[in-house]
């Protein structure tokens, strides 16, 4: 069982920045595709960003140019650098580790609130 845990959320003013971290257990971290999702109150969980083990990056149109996903395999960690935050970015952010199309491992989520 792969354990996934997100940290780094908090309260930030519009235009501010946060960096989220996601740590996953195991020695096979580098084989997993990693992704970030978010879930606002009363809304469906939506895709934010993904980083495949080959290095390909994908972003939702709403965050493109503001968010950056990266990983450090030596630390079993994936990051989400969030700049130019907007109130509509307010949500619980979840980290997901995927192996092929058969295994998904989710973290517990970390709250990001953007408000003045």
Instruction: Tell me the pLDDT tens digit for each residue of 68-106.
Output: 999 998 999 999 999 999 999 999 999 999 987 788 999
Cα–Cα distance for residue pair 111/116, rounded to 1 Å: 16
∠55-103-26 over CA atoms, to 5°? 70
Cα–Cα distance for residue pair 44/75, rounded to 1 Å: 31
Query: Quick one: pLDDT at residue 102?
Result: 82
Both tokens of 87, joined, read 């109130």
Q: H or E segment at 7?
A: strand 4-7
Cα–Cα distance for residue pair 83/68, rounded to 1 Å: 9
Dihedral in degrees, nearest 10, Cα atoms 104, 26, 3, 64: -60
Condensed to tens digits (0 to 9), the pLDDT of residues 5-58 reads 999 999 999 999 999 999 998 778 888 899 999 999 999 999 999 998 888 999
């Amino acid at each position: 069982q792969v354990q996934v845990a997100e940290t780094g959320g908090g309260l930030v003013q519009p235009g501010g920045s946060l960096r989220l971290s996601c740590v996953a257990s195991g020695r096979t971290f580098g084989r997993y595709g990693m992704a970030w999702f978010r879930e606002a109150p009363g809304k469906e969980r939506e895709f934010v960003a993904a980083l495949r083990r080959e290095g390909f990056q994908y972003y939702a149109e709403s965050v493109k140019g503001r968010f950056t996903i990266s990983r450090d395999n030596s630390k079993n960690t994936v990051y989400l650098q969030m700049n130019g935050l907007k109130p509509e970015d307010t949500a619980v952010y979840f980290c997901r580790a995927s192996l092929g199309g058969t295994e998904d491992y989710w973290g517990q989520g970390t709250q990001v609130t953007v408000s003045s």
